[in-house]
Amino acid sequence: MKKQLILLTFVAFIANALYAQDVGRETYVIDELEDTTDVTTIKDIIKKQQKVFSNVSNTDHITDVWKRKSFFNISFVNETLKPDGQVPITKNDENNDCKSYLNDGYAGEYKSDWGVSLQVGHNYRISKPIADMVSFNIDWNIFDLGWFHFSAEKSINSKKIVDNNEYTNEPIKYYTPFNAEKHDFNLSSSPGISLDIAPFAHSNSSFLSFIKINAYLHIGYGTSLLLMKSNKEDGNNKIDNTALDWGHGILTSFGASISILKSIGIGFERRKSNYKYTSLDSDNYGDNKWDFNSISSRFYLQIRY
């Protein structure tokens, strides 16, 4: 009987201990739909830091691709001057009377031997580049300064332009030796529109990512000063050995360039203009005007900054 009591007491003690352990234990139920994004590990932290660093680095890179909005061009130019209509050429006969010789023809087409120009301009972006690769711009070619040289025609050294005075019906001499050696000094300014494409902006290549293609159309206003050799005793020139004609008018230009480095590029431009000229050194300044069309091809080296 005593042994049975001890055994019963031991069983009761074990049962009580097991119950107490079960009561103190917390029960967890795993919910497969539970949001566990707040659970962070060291690996997650590293990934997030790498992502932030990558975003910042990419933003800096894109900014570097597009930040150069101003440009400076050094152009090598071939220019052609051609009269708009017929500009008659005359010469003096034996009696020093100014007569028109139609067999001498008219002022012809003149092609430059060489030409250079300097351009400074700026691009104003309409909006943020699309996908960091395409940008539409408003351009301003702030100034374009050019100097073009034409050799003298071998067959004819100098010519005169003749017009009849509307009151006396007598010829008026304007010594404009278009066939003589000419220097054409140009100054112009033109706004326009352009399109920039950076096809490899997101590339990891430091060379490819900075390749940028630009195409543009500009319409502006320009002036031209033609300086030609002359003799004071011929015509009504005021300046010895010099004939000066001043012209002005509207010009249009279109072209394209490609940037192959961060700041360096090359390009081509085609320009057309129509200028109305008048003699600056004639006693009859402004009485006679003539139009010339100018067409030029420009190959240029571009520096962006």
Tens of pLDDT, residue by residue over 157-191, are 334 444 444 444 444 444 456 667 889 999 999 99
Residues 189 and 228 placed together within one structural domain of the fold = yes
Considering only residues 244 and 304, tell me which one the structure prediction assigns the higher pLDDT: 304
CATH label of the domain that carries residue 118: 2.40.160
Q: What residue type is assigned to position 77 of the chain?
A: V
Q: What is the pTM of this model?
A: 0.68
* pLDDT of the residue at 173: 45
- Whether residue 15 is contained in a domain is answered as no
- Whether residue 30 is contained in a domain is answered as no
Residues 51 and 145 placed together within one structural domain of the fold = no
- Whether residue 243 is contained in a domain is answered as yes
- Whether residue 292 is contained in a domain is answered as yes
* pLDDT of the residue at 90: 45
Residues 237 and 101 placed together within one structural domain of the fold = yes
Residues 114 and 206 placed together within one structural domain of the fold = yes
* pLDDT of the residue at 25: 52
Residues 73 and 215 placed together within one structural domain of the fold = yes
- Whether residue 184 is contained in a domain is answered as yes
Residues 73 and 185 placed together within one structural domain of the fold = yes
Residues 288 and 225 placed together within one structural domain of the fold = yes
Average pLDDT for 51-66: 71
Least confident stretch, 29-43, 48-62, 166-180: 166-180
- Whether residue 14 is contained in a domain is answered as no
* pLDDT of the residue at 291: 87
| Residue 225 confidence (pLDDT) above 50 | yes
In this predicted model, what pLDDT tens digit does every residue of 232-280 receive, in sequence order?
544 444 445 567 888 999 999 999 999 988 899 999 999 999 999 887 7
Residues 53 and 163 placed together within one structural domain of the fold = no
Q: Which long-range contacts (CB under 8 A, 24 or more apart) does 20-28 make?
A: none
- Whether residue 1 is contained in a domain is answered as no
Residue 283 structure tokens: 């006693």
Residues 187 and 281 placed together within one structural domain of the fold = yes
Domain with 133, as residue range(s), is 68-304
Q: 182-197 and 290-304: which strand pairing?
A: unpaired
Average pLDDT for 115-125: 96
* pLDDT of the residue at 109: 83
Residues 150 and 54 placed together within one structural domain of the fold = no
User: How many distinct structural domains can be found in the chain?
Assistant: 2
* pLDDT of the residue at 48: 65
Q: Are 76 and 112 in contact (CB under 8 A)?
A: no
Residues 46 and 159 placed together within one structural domain of the fold = no
Q: 90-92 and 264-279: which strand pairing?
A: unpaired
- Whether residue 5 is contained in a domain is answered as no
Rounded Cα distance, 95 and 62, in Å: 76
To 10 degrees, the CA torsion angle through 287, 293, 297, 302? 50
Least confident stretch, 204-208, 236-240, 261-265, 288-292: 236-240
Buried b (16+ CB within 10 A) or exposed e, 187-220: ebbbebebebbbebbeeeeeeebbbbebebebeb
Residues 127 and 254 placed together within one structural domain of the fold = yes
Residue 205 structure tokens: 């290549």
